[in-house]
Amino acid sequence: MGGLHMTEVITVYLDSFRKYRNPQEYYSCPRATCGDLVEEGHGFLIQKLLKRYALEYSVEDTSVHVRVLRGDTLCFVEMPLSSWIAPPSKEVPAGLAAYHQRQKL
């Protein structure tokens, strides 16, 4: 599988589909698609999909930008792949830490 060039952008498409519980009853289920990779269900679909993308396509340069679209509408500001696949920081910002400390007094 080929890697990305510096000028390329990873594009993720969001949509939903009908998932049937039985022949008469269905619900709308979200789906994220990027190339031949598909992630369905509820939760952090984009993050799951992009982590799989980075592993399967051996993406070494995580500074490549990600574009997320629903139809023709841009859903998020383009951000680097690293911001999507990096685990969230558990560090509390200094100002917020001070605020929580005052609340405990």
Domain count, the chain: 1
Is 70 part of any domain?
Answer: yes
Read off the pLDDT of residues 33-55 as tens digits, 9 standing for 90 and up.
999 999 999 889 999 999 999 99
Residue 2 lies inside a defined structural domain of this protein: no
pLDDT tens profile 81-102: 998 988 766 666 666 666 656 6
In a domain, 44, yes or no: yes
Residue 18 falls within a domain, yes or no?
yes
For residues 4 and 65, give the distance between their C-alpha atoms in angstroms, rounded to a whole number.
Answer: 11
What does the pLDDT average to over 56-76?
Answer: 92
Residue in the structure block whose two tokens are 């969230």: 88
d(CA 25, CA 19): 9
Domain annotation covers residue 87: yes
The Cβ of residue 19 has, within 10 Å, a number of other Cβ atoms equal to 13
Domain extent for 99: 10-104
Contact status, residue 54 vs residue 85, Cβ threshold 8 Å: yes
Separation of alpha carbons 53 and 76, rounded Å? 18
User: Are the C-beta atoms of residues 85 and 51 closer than 8 Å to each other?
Assistant: yes
Confidence bin at 6 (pLDDT 50/70/90): very low
| Residue 96 in domain | yes
Q: Is residue 24 part of a domain?
A: yes
Distance CA 68, CA 74 (A): 6
What's the half-sphere exposure (Cβ side, CA atoms, 13 Å) at 48? Answer: 12
Flag whether 90 is in a domain.
yes
